[in-house]
Amino acid sequence: MDLTARIYIAGHRGMVGSALVRRLRAAGYTNLLLRTSQELDLRNQAAVEQFFAAEQPEYVLLAAAKVGGIQANNVYRADFLQDNLLIQCNVIGASHRHGVRKLLFLGSSCIYPKLAPQPIKEEYLLTGPLEPTNEPYALAKIAGLKLCEAYRDQHGSSFITAMPTNLYGPNDNYDLHSSHVLPALLRKFTEAVQLGMPQVEVWGSGTPRREFLHVDDLADACLHLLLHYDGREPVNVGTGQDLTIRELAELVAQLTGFTGRLVFDPSKPDGTPRKLLDVSKLHALGWKHRIELTEGVRQVLAEATSLANAPVLS
């Protein structure tokens, strides 16, 4: 990939897209094509076609998506399915029609069956039913990765797909109704310390296990795959290590200096019991994560702290 190549990063204001911009700029890429969702609504096929015709990107990193935590996925089910399908069909289709040399599509570890054997290998895709709370999002992401495979099969397109585990980092969503667990806990514990609250509420039973990857590591892995991978199968991107939600809450409590009680709310869903990715394929391709969870959480705590003056939302 030439340092002056025209690289379109779809979703550059999101947590993943902004990390990709940072990583590519640091590597010396100078010709990044960026559009906000106000400037270019990726659900609008005509607008997407017009953009590709005018800008002729050579590489596309598809990090634009409607995303959210367990509650948002479960409540806005139609939006998660429809918006993501539209974005993917428009961007992947336009990439083919306008001769994009390589495309990277970002999926999610929630595409795998709810009760997949652990750690989850790429080939377990479509071997069992999905977790119901995020089935619409997962179905859209599965369709996106299959569309990339289908373009490769039918037209020989260099469209590759990466499946990241749960992510965290700068530009995360701290809205307690729609966020994922880690930013939610960072915010809740930070506020509890500031307000001197005796307890913090943690959703569900605390027993589900999750794996967390810093988004800067993901961006680094994406660049590695763009440069060194051109296969049909998806590639899992994670750390290969997980912990329980209770352990995660205890870690955040410790790092924020919270000494009160954890209260588990069983009325909130647990979601899938475990989703630890098997990252041996990624390791065999020569990439391994660098930022360990404790260090990464310390890094993002400053960001959460700056948001702590807003009122607790739930």
List residues forming the annotated binding site for substrate.
Answer: 188, 203, 210, 270
Catalytic residue among 8, 112, 137, 168: 137
Proportion of the chain in helix, strand, coil states, percent, rounded to 5: 45, 15, 40
Distance separating alpha carbons of residues 107 and 91, to the nearest angstrom: 14
Mark out the alpha helices in the chain (DSSP H runs).
15-26, 45-55, 70-75, 77-97, 135-155, 181-195, 215-228, 245-256, 280-284, 293-306
φ/ψ (deg, to 5) at 130: -85, 165
Q: Return residues touching ligand GDP (CB under 6 A).
A: 69-70, 110, 134, 166, 179-181, 184, 202-204, 208, 210, 245, 268-271
Contact at 8 Å (CB) between 234 and 173?
no
Distances (CA, A) of 194 to 247, 262, 310, 314: 22, 16, 12, 17
Annotated binding-site members for NADP(+): 11-17, 106-109, 141, 164-167, 180
Q: Does the annotation mark 137 as catalytic?
A: yes
Amino acid identity at 52: F
Contact at 8 Å (CB) between 212 and 166?
yes
In angstroms, what is the minimal distance from the CB of 313 to ligand GDP? 10
H or E element at residue 209: strand 209-210
Residue in the structure block whose two tokens are 């041996």: 280
DSSP of 243-273: EEHHHHHHHHHHHHT--SEEEEETTS----S
- Give the SS3 label for residue 212: strand
Residues labelled catalytic: 137
